Structure 1
C-alpha cells in the first residue's frame, strides 16, 4: 500500500492545495487502518470462525460414526451411488460397489457406495461413516482442520479489508486528481487565450 506517499503534504508551503491536505488525511487514515484496524478485524473474524467451527466439530464428532462395510458386488450404476468416501482422498482409485453395513443403532443397511479399488472382491471390508440413523455421510471435521480453516478465514478477512481500504483510498485520490485537473482547465480557460499578449495583463 502506498498510503504514506501523500503524508509529505502535511508540510506548510505556499504551493500546497486544499486537495493536497485532503489526500494527506486519506493517506494517514488508510495507514492507521492498515496497521491497527485490519489485524484486529482479522483476529476477530478468526476467533469467531474458530468458535463456530469448533461447535461443528463437536456436533459432527457426536453424530457421525465409523463402521465397517462389507462388499457384496461391484456395480456400474452411478445414479444411486453415494459420493461420500470418508477418506478425504478424492475420487481417484475408487469404484462403486453394493455393500452391507451395520449402523450405530444396530440396524442393518445395504446400499451403493464408493469404495477403494482394492475393495472390489466380494467379502472385502472397508470403513465408511454414517449418521445416527445409519445413512451414509462424510468424515466428521477434526479440530486441526477446523482451526486451519479459522486461521485462513481470519487472514482472508484482513486481506479483504486491506483491499477495500486501498481501493477506497485510490478512488478518493482519483477524484481529487480529476478535481485538480478541472480547476486547472478552468483557470487556463480564463487566462490561456491572452497568455503573453501585450497589454493583456498576463
Structure 2
C-alpha cells in the first residue's frame, strides 16, 4: 500500500511545477460537473415539485363530494352490534347524480352487510366520474416535496454520470501519455539501473 500524506484541500488549484495540463483540465471538469449537477438537480426538483403541487391543487379544486346510495346490500355479514368490523371493507354498487344532473353508478368500498339505500359519501370529478379523495394542502406539499426531491436527484444523476465518464476518459488518456513517455525514457534509464 502506498503512503498517502495528509489530505490537502483544493490541491488541483495550487501551484505545483509537477502539475500537468491534464491535472488542470481535470480540475475544471470536476468543478464544471459539480456546478452543473447542482444546478440541474435544484432546477429540475423545483420544477417537478411545482408541477406536482399544481396538479394536486387542481384536483382538490375540481373534486366534488357527493352522496351516493347503495343499489343493493353489500356482500358479507354485518359487523357485530358494537360496530367493530375490524376495518374490513367490501366492494358494493352505488348510484349517484352528478352536479350536471346526469345519473352515474360505480363501485365503492363499504362495511360488509351494509343495507341497500344506505347513503355513502364519495368524491367525483366535474363530469361525475369517481375519483379518490383529493390530497389536503399539507399532503400536497409533502408529496410535491418528495416527488421534487426524487426528480431532482434523478436529473442530477445525468450530468454527474457524464462528468464521471469524461474524467474516466481523461484518466485513460493520461495513462496513454505515461506509456508514451515511459517508452521514450525507458531505454535511457535501462542501462543506468541494475
- Please state which band the TM-score falls in when normalised by the shorter chain: 0.5 to 0.7
Q: Is the 8 A contact 1:47 1:150 kept in 2?
A: yes
**Is 1:98 the counterpart of 2:97 in the alignment?**
no
Q: CA deviation at 1:26?
A: 2.0
Structure 2 Cα separation of the partners of residues 166 and 62 of structure 1: 39
Secondary structure of 1:192's match? helix
> Which residue in 1 is equivalent to 2:3?
none
1:169 maps to 163
* Pairing 1:137–2:131 present: yes
Which is worse superposed, 63-72 or 111-120?
A: 111-120
Look up the match of 2:4: none
- Counterpart of 1:15 in 2: which secondary structure? coil
Distance 1:132 1:9 in 2: 61
Q: Which one of 173, 178, 186 corresponds to residue 180 of structure 2? A: 186
CA distance in 1, matches of 2:103, 2:114: 21
Partner of 2:82: none
| Cα 1:62–1:11 shift into 2, 3 Å | closer
Assess, with a 3 A threshold, how the Cα gap between structure 1 residues 47 and 19 changes in structure 2: closer, same or farther: same
SS in structure 2 at match of 1:134: coil
After TM superposition, the score normalised by the length of structure 1 is 0.66
Distance verdict in 2 for CA 1:45–1:95, change over 3 Å: same
Q: Under a length normalisation based on structure 2, what TM-score does the superposition of the two structures give?
A: 0.68
Residue 15 in structure 1 maps to residue 14 in structure 2: no
Q: What is the SS of the residue equivalent to 1:97? A: strand
8 Å Cα contact 1:71/1:99 also seen in 2:
yes
Please list every run of 5 or more consecutive structure 2 residues that lacks an aligned counterpart in the other structure.
Answer: 1-7, 76-86
* Structural RMSD (CA): 3.5
Q: Which residue of 2 aligns with 1:57?
A: 57
The DSSP-based 3-state class of the residue aligned with 1:23 is helix
The secondary structure found in structure 1 opposite 2:67 is strand
Counterpart-to-counterpart distance in 1, 2:12 and 2:61: 61
Quickly say closer, same or farther: Cα 1:51–1:173, change in 2 above 3 A: same
Which consecutive residues of structure 1, in runs of 5 or more, have no partner in the other structure? Answer: 77-91
Shift of 1:171: 1.6
Q: Tell me, in whole angstroms, the C-alpha distance in 2 between the residues paired with 1:158 and 1:190.
A: 48
Aligned to 2:70: 71
